[in-house]
Structure 1
Amino acid sequence: MRALDKPRARTIRHTPRRSDRADDHLTGRTCGVPAHADARCDRARRWWLRLDRKALNRVRTLIVGGGAIGQFFAARLAQAAQDVVVLARPREAEALNAQGVSLICGGRELTFRVSAAASNSDPLLDGSFELVVVAVKAYSTGEAGALIAGLESCRAASVLTVQNGVGNEEELSKALGADRIVAGALTVAVDRVDTTVVAATARGGLCLAPMGGGSHNWLIAALSAGGLVVQASSGWRSLKWSKLCINILGNAVCAALDWMPSQVYADPAAFAFERACLLETLAVMTTLGIRPMNLIDYPAAVLARAVKVLPPPVLRMTLSGRVSRARGDKLPSLLADLRARRPRSEVTALNGAVASHALSAGATAPSNERISSVVAGIASGRLRWDDYRGKPQAL
């Protein structure tokens, strides 16, 4: 990791060039300049349209959570000249205010100014927000929902959750109402390099699906203006369960064994356990009437078919390369949390959620129940990690 005071490679202090694709329909009806106008008038027309687009797309956004994902969205929105406030822990808020947020992607590092608050009583949270992005761990969703509900500035805001796991939308809707909730599935791999520096892959994007009947189509233009690939999807449950299938790959089993994904896929016993978790997940989805769907650069529907029909050795070889390319050198999230000695784990919203939904449907998902119990037990200190490190047979 680099020192905090190392100069940034490049600092963006101006409004970046926007893509015109989302606003092409404005051309020709927003400004009535005839086609035969001279070059000077045409330049003025284009300048006016750019200002109009900026006014239409400008969105004041509150990001709840200053971790890797929260900072990634802060950078992407700031890149589109949006007004961004990050609600983070005191240490992170202080660093973000002092240094801005840096995004490394595609061989470039760009730094953006953002505002950060460490308390919901901070004056930065006054005024009105059009969008709230929830980027906290799944076990903090209830707390985040209560916080947002208590902010007058967020009364009319759409609430986008980009969290891992299933159940976050339902939890937020209890406090905020379903019509305000938008489910998001982010398939960009994001890693935290330093306190205010995140690295992201160029692959992937964000799929969106509303939970209730509210209209949130304007989010596509607002979120894509900073270079993020955004796609609207139908069926928020299919969206989140499809992302769950991807999150299960090379994650909980890696955490329990203290292995990287390549080690799991190189071991037949460890891979057999992970395959069982995936098959149980797909069985629960079938029981609930949820169909897998392809996400941006991650064909979850294709994965579902492959898990069911390919012989285990062929599937192991196929997934090994796919998961390794997708993750790169990034630690699986559940393993990173265990190594950081965090006492709580998101595994309960991943594998644990599969087991609980199976139980509610009158079925069982023993592999998911087992791995969830093990990882959560290691995190809380109830189980000794050394009893599972490098021991697939212990699962």
Structure 2
Amino acid sequence: MRSVTLASPSIPRWSFLCIGAGALGTYIGGSLMRVGQRVVFLVRPATAEILRARGLRLVLEGTTYALSEPLLATSLDEALRLGPYDMGLVTIKAYDIEDLVKALLPYRAALPPLVCLQNGVESEAHLAQVVGEANVITATLTSAVSRPEVGVAVVERLRGMGVARGHKLLPPLLAILNAAGLRAREYPDATAMKWSKLLTNLLANASAAILDMSPAEIFAHPELYALEVGQIREALAVMRRLGLNVVNLPGAPLRLLVTFMSTLPPDISRPILSPFLSRGRGQKMPSLHIDLHGGRGKTEVDYLNGAVVRFGQRLGVPTPINRVLNETLLALSRGDLPKTRFQRRPEVLLEQVRQTMG
């Protein structure tokens, strides 16, 4: 087990406010701590109690790094007393963004620029209400990270992260992120980057949660694979209407992937893509499955498939598959439908899609 390793003296030492300490916050905030950056975690009181007792642990490529005595705050008042900050990191789930914005608004004058690392394509607009559009830095993580317990982040597959161009502090921010081993890359088009990441969040995510099946099982099933292709094609149609091109993300050759999915019949692309897609998530189950079957009572599906539906409605693009996946998982999460209705029953979900598509 290893402890903190100081970065090069040429790398600036910043103070970060990390909002959240789930898998994403623990990994990114912990990685920054590991190289000597100052990080204050804004967390719930129960989480703070555990972190004070245990500290943080990062498991990177088989090596465990122990990070003791993290700086913690359980309210914005307390967090700001520990400031000022050079940068904020928003790592909470997308379904908490509106509550966060309400909480941040009274403190807007004291807040630093905010790096938005949430899934989906709509959180940046919410954060812009607080710090202004110019002070929201769009970012996305492609590394697969799990959190087996509070305060522990395990990197299942190290890829990297994308950060959008445009903010004056981007050069030193990239230098710090890369010194922390996060493999950050600059992207010129924030919207294209986030929509491209959304494509990866759609694949075998809602369907895995609804059916309680692994991505490998879904990709191995010809009709379920065709369903995955269908939802991706709907999202691509929305992107085309928005004038967006798919971009490759760190460790994710998306342009080749979507070319196969959008041009080849599913029975031809499945043998080619299924092994690659199954390996892509490492050993972790998709996030929507974790949300539903972990008993959280909330789901990010409305910020993923639901976003495709909303933009499709606005632009006149039909999105029936994304609609079924979104509405079904929302109903399961609310308890309006029993989980057993779809559990390991692909035929029930497929019939529902067929009925919707007429």
For Structure 1 versus Structure 2, the TM-score category normalised by the shorter chain is over 0.9
CA distance in structure 2 between the partners assigned to 1:146 and 1:91 by the alignment = 22
Of 152, 171, 175, the match for 1:197: 152
Confirm or deny that 1:178 pairs with 2:136: no
1:133 alignment partner, one of 79, 89, 112: 89
**Is residue 106 from structure 1 mapped to residue 61 from structure 2 by the alignment?**
yes
Percent identity of paired positions between Structure 1 and Structure 2: 32
Evaluate the alpha carbon distance shift between residue 235 and residue 275 of structure 1 in structure 2; reply closer, same or farther with a 3 A threshold: same
Separation in 2 of the partners of 1:234 and 1:83? 28
CA contact (8 A) 1:74 1:101 kept: no
Q: Where does the alignment leave 5 or more consecutive residues of structure 1 unmatched?
A: 1-9, 19-49
Q: Paired residue for 2:354? A: none
Distance 1:64 1:117, change over 3 A: same
Q: CA deviation at 1:363?
A: 2.2
| Shift, 1:202, TM fit | 4.9
CA distance in 1, matches of 2:123, 2:227: 26
**What residue number does 1:265 align with?**
219
Shift of 1:136: 0.8
Q: Secondary structure at the match of 2:101?
A: helix
TM-score (norm 2): 0.92
Q: Distance in 1 between matches of 2:168 and 2:230?
A: 38
Correspondence for 1:346 among 291, 300, 303? 300
Distance 1:123 1:384, change over 3 A: closer
In 2, Cα distance between equivalents of 1:255 and 1:89: 26
Mark the runs of 5 or more structure 2 residues left unpaired by the alignment.
350-358
SS in 2 for 1:217: helix
Query: Given residue 137 of structure 1, which amino acid in structure 2 is its aligned partner?
Result: K
Contact 2:219 2:278 in 1 (8 A): no
Q: 1:252-278: CA deviations, max 9, x gaps?
A: 111111100011111112111111100
Structure 1 residues 65-84: Cα deviation after superposition (integer angstroms, max 9, x where no partner)? 11111101111100120100
The equivalences for 1:209-358 within 5 A come to: 209-210=164-165, 215-358=169-312
Partners of 1:231 and 1:71 in 2: CA distance: 20
Give the 5 Å matches for 1:73-88: 73-88=28-43
Say yes or no: does 1:16 pair with 2:25.
no
Kept in 2: contact 1:132–1:154 (CA 8 A):
no
- Give, in whole Å, the separation in 2 of the partners of 1:11 and 1:213: 34
CA contact (8 A) 1:179 1:214 kept: no
Q: What do you get for the CA RMSD once the two structures are aligned? A: 1.7
1:168 is matched with: 123
Take 1:238 and 1:146, find their aligned partners in 2: how far apart are those partners? Answer: 28
Point out the structure with max Rg over C-alpha: 1
1:125 CA displacement: 4.0
Whole-angstrom CA distance in 2 between matches of 1:60 and 1:154 = 14
In 1, the alpha carbon distance for the partners of 2:106 and 2:255 equals: 39
TM-score if structure 1 supplies the norm length?
0.84
Equivalent of residue 206 in structure 1, options 161, 165, 170 = 161
Change (3 A) 1:86 1:195: same
CA distance, structure 2, for counterparts of residue 168 and residue 17 of structure 1: 31
Find the aligned partners of 2:232 and 2:29 in 1 and give their Cα distance: 33
Partner deviation per Cα, 1:274-316 (whole Å, 9 max, x = no partner) = 1110000000000111111000010112222111122312322
Structure 1 consecutive aligned stretches of length 4 or more whose deviation exceeds 6 Å: none
What's the CA shift for 1:323? Answer: 2.2
The equivalent residue for 2:72 is 116
Q: Count how many residue pairs are aligned between Structure 1 and Structure 2.
A: 348
